[in-house]
Structure 1
Amino acid sequence: MHPVAVYYRDYKSENGLMMPHVLETVVAGVNQTHQMTIQHVTVNQAVDDSMFAKPQFAMAKVPAH
């Protein structure tokens, strides 16, 4: 395992909040980096309660032997 550092950069105002728009992860010792660029942030967007509902699973019918 190698330590991982995360750097937050390119802060921009989104509805009065300063939000990073570039996140970069650096894995120490293996010279590996990953950069993610965020193009748009929505603050306090309404989310339907159904998004948090427990999923319903149908039980599979097992043939009798």
Structure 2
Amino acid sequence: MHPVAVYYRDYKSENGLMVPHVLETVVAGVNQKHQMTIQHVTVNQAVDDSMFAKPQFAMAKVPAH
């Protein structure tokens, strides 16, 4: 396994909170890096409680042999 470094850059104010808009991941010994650019941030958006509800799993009937 190789050490991984994540760099947070391009901080911008979003509703008074400084948020990085560029995240760059570098793996030691690898000549390639991954960059993620964040285009839009919403702070403290209302989220419906149902988003956190335990999912209901349907039971499938298995035919008898």
Q: TM (normalized to structure 1)?
A: 0.95
Task: Supply the RMSD in Å over aligned alpha carbons.
Answer: 0.7
Distance in 2 of aligned mates of 1:19 and 1:45:
15
Corresponding residue SS for 1:50 = helix
How far residue 32 of structure 1 moved from its aligned partner, in angstroms, is 2.2
Distance in 2 of aligned mates of 1:63 and 1:7:
54
Distance in 2 of aligned mates of 1:5 and 1:63:
52
Distance in 1 of aligned mates of 2:32 and 2:54:
38
How many residues in Structure 1 have an aligned counterpart in Structure 2? 65
Distance in 2 of aligned mates of 1:11 and 1:48:
29
Moved over 2 A (4+): none
Q: TM (normalized to structure 2)?
A: 0.95
Unpaired runs of at least 5, structure 1:
none
Corresponding residue SS for 1:31 = coil
Corresponding residue SS for 1:10 = strand
